Amino acid sequence: VCTLAALPDGTLAPIAPQRAHVETLFAGLSAQGFRVLGIASRAIDAPHISRADEQAMTFRGFLVFFDPAKPGIAETIAELRQLGISLKIITGDNRAVAAAVGQQVGIDTAGPNILTGTELRQLSNEALRTRVGDVAIFAEIEPNQKERIIIALRQAGNVVGYLGDGINDASALHAADVGISVDSAVDVAKEAAQIVLLKHDLAVLAQGVREGRKTFANTLKYVFVTTSANFGNMFSMAGISLFLPFLPLLPKQILLTNFLTDFPAMAIATDSVDRELIEQPRRWNIGFIRNFMLIFGLISSLFDYLTFGTLLFVYRAGVDEFRSGWFVESVMTELLIMLVIRTRKAFF
């Protein structure tokens, strides 16, 4: 493209002898995290310019831009890492600039941890899926490659959140499990995202992760209480009905039981959560919920049958006394389960 170079004294000289110096200067600026734009010129006496005219130009120098990382970003990334979140940089900047930025914010920039768009293009989907977890920085990435990276991360078993604000980020935002943008982003990016940040600060993400995990943990508590208690009551009702000539509980007593237990269960939404449940990511596991329901439901049912035996054979309870006794025991048992599942530590 360029055949001449403008020297500091204003004279022009062939570019070939200056090429090594120019490339060294470019590499040095890039390694410091500067974004470098080359400037060249050519005088053309024509009303229109075509791509063919972009040759035999004179290299004039560099425009150097520096976009410093926000103060505290390294600490925020370290905080997210402590929460079990691995951050990766996907950028169109060259390898040297990306490595410098990664080093500034505390991301490992060792050679194997950086993958360029050219190298990515040579990898099959299976090879990318195998390697993508070990790569910390994707540099010189083309817009259409962002979506491929996100898909590979998901196929590798990761839950992926993608933060972007440009038109080129729209497909990656769609491909991610959680698309995140900012209020100053282009409309296409905001429409593709599930979350729009009103504050341009990664610390908001750390706070959001904590609140999300707290909500998830408390949701599981409610599910555990409801499924185990209802399963236990159903099992007890079905079993004892085979031997009693009357209904063990009246319909209005069942409704009242649900009311008395669900009302305090509403407080679970604002319950505190063990620290270890917030520091590590968790996933929805229907198998674990089923096993919990079976185990605690049967334990609850065991207390029910002990109550039945005590009422029938010790106190010789009549119909009303039996119903009242089981009603009280059923409510107390479910409240006890609620106390037990609040924490993995001793609930007392």
pLDDT, tens digit, 9 for 90 and up, residues 65-100: 988 888 888 999 999 999 999 999 999 999 999 999
Average pLDDT estimate for 37-46: 90
Mean pLDDT of the chain: 91
pLDDT of amino acid 252: 95
- φ, ψ at 32 (rounded to 5°): -90, 0
Of 65, 89, 107, the residue that ends a domain is 65
pLDDT of amino acid 157: 92
Residues 9 and 125 in one domain: no
| pLDDT band at residue 265 using 50, 70 and 90 as cut-offs | confident
Place of tokens 């009357």: 246
The CA distance from 66 to 201, in Å, is: 19
Residues 229 and 312 in one domain: yes
Name 233's Cβ contacts closer than 8 Å, sequence gap at least 6. 257, 300, 301, 304, 330
Average pLDDT estimate for 36-48: 89
Of 203, 226, 242, the residue that ends a domain is 203
Residue 240 in contact with residue 311, Cβ under 8 Å? no
Residues 132 and 238 in one domain: no
348 in any annotated domain: no
Write the pLDDT tens digit of every residue in 310-334: 999 999 999 999 999 999 999 998 8
Mark out the alpha helices in the chain (DSSP H runs).
19-31, 73-82, 95-105, 117-121, 125-131, 143-155, 170-175, 187-192, 203-240, 251-265, 275-279, 286-309, 319-341
Residues 160 and 81 in one domain: yes
9 in any annotated domain: yes
Q: By CB neighbour count within 10 A (0-12 exposed, 13-18 middle, 19+ buried), where does 317 fall?
A: middle
Residues 228 and 184 in one domain: no
Of 203, 231, 259, the residue that ends a domain is 203
Write the pLDDT tens digit of every residue in 121-152: 999 999 999 999 999 999 999 999 999 999 99
pLDDT of amino acid 307: 96
Q: Is residue 303's pLDDT more than 70?
A: yes
Residues 189 and 125 in one domain: yes
CATH number at residue 129: 3.40.50.1000
Long-range CB contacts (within 8 A, 24+) of 148-154:
148/120, 149/90, 149/120, 150/175, 150/176, 151/175, 152/125, 152/128
pLDDT of amino acid 45: 84
pLDDT > 90 in the chain, percent: 72
Residues 317 and 218 in one domain: yes
Query: Per the structure, how many domains does the chain have?
Result: 3
CATH number at residue 36: 3.40.1110.10
Residues 199 and 294 in one domain: no
Cα angle at 275 between 273 and 278, to 5 degrees? 80
Residues 212 and 294 in one domain: yes
pLDDT of amino acid 173: 96
Residue 341 in contact with residue 224, Cβ under 8 Å? yes
**Domain range for 54:** 2-65
Write the pLDDT tens digit of every residue in 175-206: 999 999 999 999 999 999 999 999 888 889 99
Residues 13 and 128 in one domain: no
Cα angle at 153 between 151 and 159, to 5 degrees? 100
pLDDT of amino acid 264: 84
| pLDDT band at residue 21 using 50, 70 and 90 as cut-offs | very high
Lowest mean pLDDT among 92-96, 109-113, 338-342: 109-113
